[in-house]
Structure 1
Amino acid sequence: MARNKNGILGGFSGKVGTVVGYNSYGVDWMRGLPERTAPATIAEMKNRAQFKLVQDTLNCCKELIKVGFNNYWTKTGGMRGAVSYNKMFAVKEEENGYTIDPEEFKFSGGSLPGLKDVKVALEGKDVLRFHWDMEIGPDASAQDQVMMLAIDLEGRKSCYVAYGGFRNSGTDVLRLSDDLAGKEVHVYMAVIARDRSRQSNSQYSGMVVAK
């Protein structure tokens, strides 16, 4: 960002894109930013690799991320918040690079109470059946809605529902797409408030192999 004291025809100070403006002895000058010639450091390469892994993984469910990370973790939340959170907590280093830890991965976060005693089972070849305790605790509503996610973290494919059944229904289903057939699918669940003001932390419910 640059500052312009003398209107559109005057000089400016600061950076605009690749141009830097400055004043020297009453004369306004502009110069281009120097090109970096030094190779990226090890820390920079690690940061880029981690960022790309998380970004590519989240892209397959980005519309759900916008709901689950609404106003959460960072000032703007959404995809930026989800990338920041998962890069910090879910990325694990292995001998040949980085991977996403399914138990640390999160698609939703917030202060709304989650669900208790969540169980998931595969019905037929392409339907996941979710069950949970219907108890309505403090600071929750029977009309809160569930969010469901099934994701292939390796292949970066997913199926999800952002606004599913009500908290007091105790069960709901998620139909899997054909591109998840035969894949190891990690399953998650969260809750969003009836007025959309907040949501719960997502809960990891294990892994199933889609048929």
Structure 2
Amino acid sequence: MRKIVVAIDGYSACGKSSTAKQVASALGYKYIDSGAMYRATTLYFLEHYINLDNPKDVAKALANLHIDFHYNERNGKNETYLNGLNVEEEIRTMRVSEKVSEVSTIKEVRHAMVAQQQKMGKSKGVVMDGRDIGTVVFPQADLKVFMTADMDVRAGRRQEELLAAGTLVDLDEIKQNLAHRDHLDSTRKESPLIKADDAIEIDTSFLSFEDQVAQVVGLAKKIINK
């Protein structure tokens, strides 16, 4: 059967990652969480006090970090590993969320991550989500989806996600963080967050999780079965 590349882009807390995971599972494809790669890089930079304005420090840090994904059979999740350590919980904290967009604007960081992502998807049969997958990482992707949602809905989802991890954060603080990230992601010089001309937009504000997964799987199967 023909294998394709599915690129899912969009704003934070629109359901990109959770949808992409389920789509990959439904298609029997590999799931690659590009956002987790930037979060893991941000965590490394924070823990090692990397000066983001010093290209030499950034280059040295990038040379010393290795990001990988492993499937955890106990919880059924694809988890992020940084230099051999499971950092899935640490990369979802607010301190990482508050810094990840700034780290993502650094040219050297984006080049390093894009190179890794392109290598991972070279043989196709992958679903990857992020902010520049359909425009920069895989501009020739067979299916491009751009996900969006109302800010109040996004903030509520992120609050629930943090609460599930044992952290209570004020809704207004989350909205400010999301708005700040939207601005940084959309205005950065390196690979800004924009909808690809040939991407199909899906507004998830009032869609159930099952419905948004079904929409993407349906679009993918149409292309696979052509």
**TM-score tier after normalising by the smaller chain length:** under 0.3
Give the TM-score normalised by the residue count of structure 2. 0.22
